Structure 1
Amino acid sequence: MEGVLDHLMREMLTEINDYDLCVTEFVRIVDQLLPNSVFYRLCPELHNGGKTSSGTPVRIQLLGQDPHWMAENAYRAIELGSPGVDINFGCPAKSVNKNRGGASLLKEPELIYQIVKTVREAVDPAKPVSAKIRLGWDDPSHGLEITDAVAQAGATEVTIHARTKEDGYKAETIKWEYIREIKDRVAIPIIANGEVWNHQNGEDCLNATGVDSLMVCRGALNLPNLGNVVKHNHQHMSWADVLTLLLRYSEYEIKGDKGLYYPNRVKQWLAYLRHEYPQAKELFADIRRLNKAAPIVEILQSAQQNLAA
């Protein structure tokens, strides 16, 4: 969720949901130990014991292909206060995969093993080391070998997105049943991910996979209180409450140099919200050509006032 699920979004969403854990946007690791400032920029929660202000732990996520430098940066992340590290082997973005990162490593289970093992050996054994994978590059039957590589390397847990890289995010390609087959043969805890948009989806996924934990990603932006909808069967957040959240987000994002990115960030969020709220589609059309914060905020305020009238 690079570029939209930043620390400001985490702050708001963990206040209104009982999330057990958040994972940061990925920190790209190539061939060096990154300065502390990079970790603090992507995870300011490090200044708060690695938690959001509402107390939800935030685990730093690393993405890279060199075991040594992944381990060095994992050690740094833990040293700075991250309550564990997560390793991204699932990102399907072309810009990432062409540089041998993310899902491209699904074709190399042995390298996945070496990365996880080296990271596990480098960090405090009391701190979790988790991995996020897909079922494979183009063949879901490879999911077992990949998961086994993660487990044998000493990972604490693994999150499986129930599609291959080639499947992308097409809804009809979800393969929850493969996670059940893997769970029955691999000892470490497995977290299921993919196509959980509401409470019923969550129940269906748990029943199909046999796991007891779920990760939500895009859905958390489509429906801001998705965590509690899935976990507690809460009602979907009203559009009026979403507008209030959008205005609060605007106050956060406009402060400091982040204000430069605000127009793109709020448009990104509205693009997700319109999958759940028809009103978001209209609002997106109203602001899509604007590139300054002030007129966008005025339109959001006007929408809120019109709703209250």
Structure 2
Amino acid sequence: MEYWNSTLGSGFILMGILNDSGSPELLCATITVLYMLALTSNGLLLLVITVDSRLHVPMYFLLGQLSLMDLLFPSVFTPKTLMDFLQSENMISFGGCALQMFLVLTLGGAEDLLLAFMAYDRYVAICHPLNYMVFMRPRVCWLMVATAWILAFLSALGHTLYTMHYPFCKVRKIRHLLCEIPPLLKLACADTSRYELLVYVTGVTFLLMPLSAIVASYALILCTVLHMPSNEGKQKALVTCSSHLTVVVMYYGAATFMYVLPSSLHNPRQDNIISLFYTVVTPALNPLIYSLRNQEVMGALRRVLGKYMLPTHCTF
């Protein structure tokens, strides 16, 4: 099979979900709405948490980091995907593909770990409220966030360099929404079986282990909640936990399918749909589930909007 030389300025052709869809215009509009929702909700939440000093506590610090990740994650590829569809242009350069993969792996990996730290934060707040500020003191919060970003950065850098070092076949069509490891390995003109094992190990480390920690944290939270004397408190906590777990399972389930399941179980159309859930859908849903139903956040949002957006001559 023929090889192609990435140093000559050649690129890949992204044959994403919009190319395989029976109604691409409707799907394009749906992705646009979800992307704008992710930008608006996460941007507002990040602004409110940064500006309002009442939200400068560990829980909202972690939520602010989640909003930052969810603001950047879909922005790595969604604008290009939409513009390519409108302009009927599907090319991406070799360097652009590598950069896209690196950013997606960094942001996705950091969010995988951060969600586990957030579940631990909720566990400490509900199960050990008297020791909350000891377990979640500022230094611990910064260590959690730094750990998530640094480990994700190093993992993404290593995987990007290793994936892109393979010789690729002359057929340069990536039948996927964006540049990710599994669809790129299908174009490699070399034995990738050992590297696929490393991708599997990384997937277990960044996906299944954090997911196990999240499930364990929420199981302990539910045990504590069920012993609450107030039925109203029980109901509120159960609704909150169930909504959190729904989004978590959607995010980790989709990412696990892409990075942990063997390549024999994948097909391009299915992978395109599944990748939308952890790249576009959950970034749009996270602020609605985690933050914008919270009374403190909504109160802070009203204060910030009232201070910066309403005319200064208004009186209340």
On whether the aligned pair clears a TM of 0.5, the verdict is no
- Higher RCO (C-alpha 8 Å, min separation 6): 2
If the TM-score is normalised by the length of the shorter chain, which range does it land in? under 0.3
Scaled by the length of structure 1, the TM-score of the pair is 0.22
Q: Which has the larger radius of gyration?
A: 2
Which structure has greater helix proportion?
A: 2
Which structure has greater strand proportion?
A: 1
